């Protein structure tokens, strides 16, 4: 009998509320290893909250998170997080290179200088996202797409096998989105596991392997083709959502 592979990320009965308002309710989800997974759902569905609660960045009312089968508190070195753009202070006086170097602090310590081997790794991460020429820039001087690349480079510098990305395509142009997707596919093919909060069902259908359809509770989860069916999308978004989604698909095609 074949053993079930250990998920990259698993949440069990995760519940989060803000005051009396439930944001996530009793969510069970298993995101597969070595896959590009999406969390999708309408505004206010709890997509970003799921990632933050899984990492302990917001308090939960109950539930458990496992990274590669281990409690998150003992597996933080196995996961990297790319936050939403609006969670960053873009006026902070820090350069692109210094942001990426932060990805090595868990290995080097906050008070130690980045050594030669660590600097070479930072260089490689900057090159992989096409930001080598911007290393000395202050992060506030960058475009939206460039900023996303920098924080993906910081996540790469952590060398964690699991990466959680919260709306990495927000505010970027089509060319940048395509280049980020290409990089995510390369990382997946190299064995990395990625969980991405995204809103465009057309992109998820064409570029992702697995999806969690969420609206406070789990609506459906599994391979993209089995999850993002018209019936499931209507359950998550409401009766008017599927015609809009079909129009997006027609435009994309």
List the strands of the sheet with 70-71, edge to edge. 21-31, 9-18, 62-67, 70-71
pLDDT tens digits for range 207-241: 999 999 999 999 999 999 999 999 999 999 986 55
C-alpha span between 169 and 200 (Å, rounded)? 10
Q: For residue 188, which phi and psi values (nearest 5 degrees)? A: -60, -45
Calculate the CA 143 to chain-centre distance.
Answer: 20
DSSP state for residue 138 in the 8-state scheme: B
3-state SS, residue 179 = helix
**Angle, vertex CA 158, rays to CA 40 and CA 178, nearest 5:** 45
**Using 50, 70 and 90 to split pLDDT, how confident is the model at 251?**
very low
Q: For residue 96, which phi and psi values (nearest 5 degrees)? A: -55, -45
pLDDT tens digits for range 170-201: 888 899 999 999 999 999 999 999 999 999 99
Beta strands in the chain (DSSP E): 9-18, 21-31, 36-40, 62-67, 70-71, 79-82, 162-166, 193-197, 210-215, 217-223
Contact status, residue 222 vs residue 209, Cβ threshold 8 Å: no
Output the pLDDT for position 112: 56
C-alpha span between 101 and 111 (Å, rounded)? 12
């Amino acid at each position: 009998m074949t053993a079930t592979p250990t998920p990259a990320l698993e949440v069990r009965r995760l519940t989060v509320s803000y005051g009396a308002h439930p944001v996530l309710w009793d969510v069970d989800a298993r995101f597969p290893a070595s896959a590009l997974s999406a969390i999708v759902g309408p505004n206010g569905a709890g997509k970003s909250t799921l990632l933050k609660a899984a990492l302990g960045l917001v308090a939960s009312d109950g539930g458990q998170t496992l990274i590669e089968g281990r409690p998150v508190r003992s597996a933080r070195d196995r996961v990297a997080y790319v936050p939403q753009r609006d969670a960053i202070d873009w006026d902070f006086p820090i350069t692109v290179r210094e942001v990426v170097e932060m990805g090595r602090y868990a290995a080097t310590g906050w008070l130690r200088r980045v050594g030669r081997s660590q600097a070479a790794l930072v260089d490689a991460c900057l090159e992989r996202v096409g930001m080598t020429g911007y290393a000395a820039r202050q992060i506030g001087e960058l475009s939206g797409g460039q900023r996303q690349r920098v924080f993906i480079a910081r996540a790469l510098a952590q060398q964690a096998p699991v990466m959680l990305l919260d709306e990495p395509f927000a505010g970027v142009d089509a060319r940048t989105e395509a280049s980020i997707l290409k990089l995510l596919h390369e990382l997946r093919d190299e064995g990395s596991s990625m969980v991405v909060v995204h809103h465009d069902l057309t992109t998820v259908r064409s570029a992702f392997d697995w999806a969690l359809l969420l609206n406070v509770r789990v609506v459906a989860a599994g391979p993209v083709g089995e999850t993002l069916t018209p019936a499931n999308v209507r359950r998550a978004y409401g009766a008017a959502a599927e015609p809009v989604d079909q129009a997006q698909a027609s435009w994309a095609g």
